[in-house]
C-alpha cells in the first residue's frame, strides 16, 4: 500500500482531542482514595447491599440508604474480642447528613481488648515507613458503673496474622459529645499480603454494667499518601497512571452515575461539597452506595493538578428509571444546574454557591468552558426521554452563561434539537474508523465529542453480553488496535470531532460492574491495559527522535492534520493510518493500525525537501487475544526503536499492531 502525504494541512487538531471520562462505577470513587469501605460505618456496610437497598431508600426520608441492624450493614467490619458491633440510627448523630453510627458494645467484666476492624476495599496495602492518615469520631453515651481507671482507645494497622504494624493510643474520653481523633500511622514493615486490617480497640474497660458500655463511632477513614498531598485526594499510584496519559480534559461525574434511578437519587453537587460530615452520600447507579467523599471540589482540584479542562455535566431531568421531568417542573433543576456552574465559576460577591466555593478555600473561579447537559440521554429517542428538556436547559443556561459551550447528549442520528446544539456528546460507540467521515457529516456545522467508546466484545451482534458471549474482561491487543483505528478517524475528522474519551476509565478488579476498563487496580497495584498504552498521547512536541518511554496516542497528538491517501473505506479494512504534524518542530507523526493477522507493507511518500533519515518508532503489538491482567500486568507494552525513514520509505506493520513513526520533515 502506498500512502502519499500532503504537505498542506487540512485542519487543526484541537487541543481537547484526547481526554478522560470518570464516573463512580466498579467502586472507583472511594477506593482510588481511601482504604476502607466508606467514610461512615453504615454506608460502609451498605456497600454490598444491592438494588433492594435503593428501593428501601425510596421510602426512607432519612438518607439511610439501607437497612440498619443487618449483617449486610456490617459488611467489611469485624468485631474484635468479646465485643459486639452494630449499625444504628444514632439518636445523637455526628451530623444530620450521617445519621447512623457504628456501635461497639463492651460487655461487663471484659478481660481483654475489644473493638472492631475493617478489611478495606478487598484488602489494604501497607508499606513500611509510609504515612497513613486515620481519623474517626466517637462518643460514649451515659454509662452506669464507674471504671477503675480510664480506658484507652487504640487505632492500629494490623497484618494478616494479627501482628501490629503501627498503633496509636489515647485515653478514651468518657463524654457523650463527639470527639474527633486524627492521627498518622507509619508501619514498621511491609506485610506480605494485602489481607491487612485497620483496627480500633478499647483496653482497660472492665466494668459491671449488665447492659454493657456503648461507644458510638462515625466517619472513620484511612488515607494513604495522596497525589500532590491533597487532603481528601487520590491514591498516588492510580493518580500518577492517569496523569501520565496527559489528558486534556476530565469529563465528570458520569456516565449513568449522574442520572440516578429516580429524580431523588440523582447526583446532586451540593451534597458533595463541604466537610465530609455534611455529605450524606447517595444510592449510586451501579448497585452500591456512593459516599461522595470525592466531590465536586475534589474533581476541580484534580483538574487543576493535571492541568485538564473540566467537562462538567449537569443533571437534566432524566433518570435511569425511564422518566423525565418536563416543562415548568424543570425550573428547580435548572436553578440547581445554574448554582452548580456558579460554584465553579461564579463571583463570590453575587452568588451564594460561589461564596461557598470561596469559603472552602478557592476564591478564584475555576477554568470552565464546556458543560454537558445530562448523560447519554438520547433526548427524544429513547422511551421516557423528552426532547424539549434540551430546549429548557440550553436556553436558560446559555442565557445565564453566554461564555460557556453546552453539549447535548444525543445520538447524531437523533431528532433535530432546538436550539441547534453546538456540540453533541454522541456515544456512537466504536464503529468503523470512517464513522465521522460519513454519518456525522449529516449534522452540518455541529461538533462532536465521542465521550464514551471502547472495544467491548468480540461479538458484534452482542456488544454488552457475557464473557461467554464475547464480552471482554480486559482490553486485548486486537481491541486496542481497533480503538486506534477508530481514534484515527477522529484525527481525520478533527474539524468536527473536537474531543473523545474512552470509558470506563477505571475499575476495581475485585468488584467491577463493567468490563473492560482502561485501567484496573486493586488495593495494592495498578494495571495498565493495552488500551491505556494506546491512549497515551503526547501533548507537546517530543524531542526529534526517541523518547525514553514509548508513549502512544495522547502523547503524539500533533496540532494539524495532513491529508494522505484515504485508507480503504470498508468495514473489513484492516490497515488504517493517519498523519499529523507539530508545526513548531516540523515533526510528522504517522500512526498505523494493522488489525490483520498478518503483517502489511506500506510505502510512505512525503512531499518535503528535507526529511530526517532516522525516525522513532513506538510499537504496540502482540497476539490478538492477549491482555494485560493482574496475573501478567506488563505482558504487552509499547516498545521504542529507531527506523530508517526518508522522503520515500517502507514500513512493515506487524500483525495486530499499532505503530507511531515520528520524523522531522520540512
Ligand atoms: O461506561 C459505562 C456506562 O456506559 C456509562 O455509565 C454510560 O454513560 C454508558 O452507557
- As for the ipTM of the complex, it is 0.99
CATH number for region 2-12+542-664: 2.60.40.1180
What end-to-end distance do the CA atoms of the chain give, in Å? Answer: 24
Query: Please, which residues bridge with residue 328 across strands?
Result: none
The pLDDT assigned to 150 comes to 80
**Who wins on pLDDT, 351 or 62?**
351
The percent helix, strand, coil of the chain (3-state, each to 5) is: 20, 30, 50
Q: Which of 26, 313, 452, 506 to mutate to test the pocket of ligand 1 (most atoms within 8 A of CB)?
A: 452
Query: Please, which residues bridge with residue 218 across strands?
Result: 137
The pLDDT assigned to 543 comes to 45
> Prior bond to 270 cis, omega within 30?
no
The pLDDT assigned to 460 comes to 83
| Sheet order of strands, 506-508 included | 506-508, 519-521, 526-528
* pLDDT-wise least confident of 199-213, 277-291, 439-453, 643-657: 439-453
* CB-ligand 1 contact for 376 (6 Å cutoff): yes
Q: Which of 28, 451, 514, 515 to mutate to test the pocket of ligand 1 (most atoms within 8 A of CB)?
A: 514
pLDDT-based confidence at 555, cuts 50/70/90? low
Q: Are 527 and 521 spatial neighbours (Cβ–Cβ below 8 Å)?
A: yes
631, with CB counted inside 10 A (0-12, 13-18, 19+), is: exposed
* Residue 384 DSSP code: T
**Who wins on pLDDT, 292 or 54?**
292
Count other Cβ atoms within 10 Å, centred on residue 588: 25
Mean pLDDT of 212-229: 91
Mean pLDDT of 390-406: 97
Distance CA 310, CA 366 (A): 9
Grid cell, residue 521, equals: 487496580
Strands (E), 422-565: 423-425, 447-453, 497-502, 506-508, 519-521, 526-528, 560-562
Q: Which of 503, 506, 512 to mutate to test the pocket of ligand 1 (most atoms within 8 A of CB)?
A: 503
* pLDDT-wise least confident of 23-32, 104-113, 331-340, 402-411: 23-32
Could you state, in order of their start, the residue ranges of all structural domains in the chain?
Answer: 2-12+542-664, 34-223
Which range, 234-248, 487-501, 644-658, has the best average confidence (pLDDT)?
644-658
* CB-ligand 1 contact for 612 (6 Å cutoff): no
* pLDDT-wise least confident of 124-128, 294-298, 477-481, 570-574: 570-574
287 CA to centre of ligand 1 in angstroms: 14
175, with CB counted inside 10 A (0-12, 13-18, 19+), is: exposed
324 CA to centre of ligand 1 in angstroms: 19
The pLDDT assigned to 634 comes to 96
Q: Which of 252, 258, 373, 376 to mutate to test the pocket of ligand 1 (most atoms within 8 A of CB)?
A: 376
490, with CB counted inside 10 A (0-12, 13-18, 19+), is: buried
Q: What angle do CA 583, 585, 586 make, to 5 degrees?
A: 60
Distance CA 227, CA 365 (A): 22
Residue closest by Cα to atom 9 of ligand 1: 255
Question: Residue 310: how many CA atoms within 13 Å on its side-chain side?
Answer: 26
pLDDT tens digit sequence for 22-37: 999 998 877 776 654 4
pLDDT tens digit sequence for 142-172: 765 556 678 999 999 999 999 999 999 999 9
pLDDT-based confidence at 474, cuts 50/70/90? very high
The pLDDT assigned to 55 comes to 21
Q: What fold, for 34-223?
A: Jelly Rolls (2.60.120)
Q: Are 98 and 218 spatial neighbours (Cβ–Cβ below 8 Å)?
A: yes
Nearest ligand 1 atom to the CA of 21 is 1
pLDDT-based confidence at 41, cuts 50/70/90? very low
* CB-ligand 1 contact for 256 (6 Å cutoff): yes
Of 14, 23, 91, which is closest to residue 490 (Cα–Cα)?
A: 14
Mean pLDDT of the residues in the chain: 87
CA distances from 554 to 432, 455, 488, 536 (A): 20, 18, 12, 4
What is the Cα Rg of the chain in Å?
27
* Residue 283 DSSP code: E
Count other Cβ atoms within 10 Å, centred on residue 641: 11
Instruction: Reply yes or no on whether the pLDDT at 113 is more than 60.
Output: yes
The pLDDT assigned to 413 comes to 72
pLDDT tens digit sequence for 181-201: 999 999 999 999 999 999 999
Mean pLDDT of 122-150: 84
* CB-ligand 1 contact for 372 (6 Å cutoff): no
Query: Please, which residues bridge with residue 648 across strands?
Result: 605
The pLDDT assigned to 431 comes to 55
Residue closest by Cα to atom 3 of ligand 1: 255
Count other Cβ atoms within 10 Å, centred on residue 439: 16
Instruction: Reply yes or no on whether the pLDDT at 429 is more than 50.
Output: yes
The pLDDT assigned to 51 comes to 24
Instruction: Reply yes or no on whether the pLDDT at 564 is more than 70.
Output: yes
Distance CA 518, CA 455 (A): 11
* pLDDT-wise least confident of 15-19, 316-320, 444-448, 639-643: 444-448
Distance CA 425, CA 237 (A): 30
* CB-ligand 1 contact for 514 (6 Å cutoff): yes
* CB-ligand 1 contact for 254 (6 Å cutoff): yes
Distance CA 200, CA 195 (A): 17
Mean pLDDT of 320-343: 95
Amino acid at each position: 500500500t502506498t500512502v502519499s502525504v500532503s504537505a498542506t494541512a487540512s485542519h487543526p487538531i484541537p487541543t481537547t482531542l484526547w481526554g478522560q471520562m470518570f464516573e463512580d462505577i466498579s467502586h472507583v470513587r472511594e477506593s482510588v482514595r481511601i482504604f476502607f469501605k466508606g467514610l461512615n460505618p453504615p454506608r460502609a456496610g451498605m456497600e454490598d447491599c444491592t438494588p433492594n437497598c435503593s428501593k428501601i431508600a425510596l421510602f426512607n426520608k432519612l438518607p439511610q440508604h439501607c437497612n440498619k441492624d443487618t449483617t449486610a450493614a456490617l459488611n467489611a467490619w469485624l468485631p474484635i474480642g468479646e465485643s459486639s458491633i452494630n449499625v444504628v440510627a444514632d439518636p445523637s448523630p455526628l451530623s444530620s447528613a450521617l445519621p447512623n453510627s457504628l456501635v461497639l458494645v463492651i460487655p461487663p467484666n471484659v478481660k481483654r481488648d475489644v473493638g472492631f476492624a475493617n478489611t478495606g476495599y478487598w484488602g489494604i496495602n501497607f508499606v513500611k515507613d509510609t504515612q497513613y492518615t486515620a481519623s474517626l469520631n466517637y462518643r460514649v453515651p451515659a454509662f452506669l458503673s464507674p471504671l477503675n481507671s480510664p480506658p484507652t482507645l487504640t487505632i492500629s494497622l494490623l497484618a494478616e496474622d494479627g501482628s501490629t504494624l503501627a498503633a496509636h493510643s489515647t485515653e478514651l474520653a468518657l463524654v457523650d459529645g463527639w470527639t474527633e481523633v486524627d492521627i498518622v500511622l507509619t508501619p514498621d514493615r511491609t506485610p506480605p499480603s494485602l489481607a491487612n486490617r485497620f483496627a480500633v480497640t478499647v483496653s482497660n474497660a472492665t466494668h459491671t454494667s449488665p447492659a454493657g458500655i456503648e461507644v458510638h463511632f462515625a466517619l472513620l477513614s484511612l488515607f494513604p499518601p495522596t497525589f500532590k498531598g491533597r487532603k481528601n485526594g487520590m491514591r498516588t499510584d492510580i493518580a500518577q497512571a492517569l496523569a501520565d496519559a496527559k489528558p486534556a480534559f476530565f469529563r465528570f461525574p458520569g456516565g449513568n452515575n449522574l442520572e440516578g434511578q429516580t429524580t431523588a437519587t440523582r447526583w446532586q453537587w451540593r451534597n458533595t461539597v463541604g466537610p465530609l460530615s455534611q455529605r450524606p452520600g447517595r444510592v449510586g447507579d451501579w448497585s452500591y452506595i456512593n459516599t461522595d467523599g470525592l466531590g465536586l471540589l475534589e474533581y476541580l482540584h484534580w483538574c487543576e493538578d493535571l492541568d485538564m479542562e473540566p467537562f462538567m455535566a449537569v443533571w437534566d431531568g432524566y433518570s435511569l428509571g425511564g422518566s423525565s421531568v418536563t416543562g415548568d417542573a424543570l425550573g428547580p433543576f435548572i436553578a440547581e444546574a445554574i448554582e452548580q456552574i456558579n460554584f465553579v465559576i461564579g463571583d463570590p460577591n453575587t452568588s451564594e454557591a460561589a461564596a461557598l466555593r470561596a469559603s472552602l478555600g478557592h476564591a478564584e473561579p475555576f477554568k470552565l468552558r464546556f458543560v454537558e447537559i445530562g448523560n447519554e440521554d438520547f433526548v427524544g429517542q429513547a422511551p421516557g426521554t423528552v426532547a424539549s428538556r434540551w430546549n429548557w436547559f440550553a436556553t436558560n443556561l446559555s442565557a445565564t452563561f453566554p461564555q460557556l459551550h453546552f453539549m447535548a447528549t444525543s445520538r447524531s442520528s437523533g431528532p433535530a434539537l432546538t436550539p441547534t446544539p453546538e456540540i453533541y456528546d454522541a456515544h456512537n460507540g466504536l464503529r468503523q474508523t470512517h464513522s465521522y467521515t460519513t454519518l456525522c457529516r449529516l449534522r452540518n456545522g455541529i461538533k462532536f465529542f465521542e465521550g464514551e467508546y471502547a472495544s467491548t466484545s468480540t461479538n458484534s451482534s452482542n456488544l454488552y453480553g457475557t464473557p461467554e458471549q464475547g464480552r471482554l474482561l480486559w482490553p486485548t491487543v486486537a481491541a486496542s488496535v481497533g480503538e486506534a483505528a477508530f481514534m484515527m478517524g477522529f484525527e481525520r475528522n478533527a474539524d468536527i470531532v473536537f474531543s473523545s474519551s474512552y470509558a470506563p476509565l477505571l475499575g476495581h478488579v475485585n468488584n467491577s460492574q463493567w468490563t473492560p476498563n482502561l485501567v484496573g487496580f486493586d488495593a495494592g497495584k495498578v494495571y495498565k491495559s493495552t488500551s491505556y498504552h494506546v491512549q497515551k498521547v503526547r501533548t507537546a512536541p517530543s524531542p526529534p527522535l526517541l523518547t525514553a518511554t514509548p508513549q502512544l496516542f495522547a502523547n503524539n497528538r500533533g496540532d494539524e492534520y495532513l491529508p494522505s491517501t484515504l485508507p480503504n473505506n470498508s468495514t473489513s479494512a484492516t490497515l488504517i493510518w493517519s498523519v499529523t504534524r507539530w508545526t513548531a518542530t516540523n515533526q510528522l507523526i504517522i500512526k498505523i493500525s494493522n488489525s490483520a493477522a498478518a503483517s502489511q507493507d506500506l510505502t510512505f511518500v512525503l512531499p518535503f525537501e528535507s526529511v530526517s533519515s532516522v525516525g522513532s518508532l513506538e510499537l504496540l503489538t502482540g497476539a490478538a487475544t492477549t491482555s494485560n491482567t493482574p496475573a501478567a500486568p506488563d505482558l504487552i507494552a509499547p516498545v521504542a526503536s529507531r527506523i530508517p525513514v526518508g522522503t520515500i520509505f517502507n514500513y512493515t506493520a506487524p500483525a495486530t499492531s499499532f505503530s507511531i513513526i515520528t520524523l522531522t520533515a520540512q
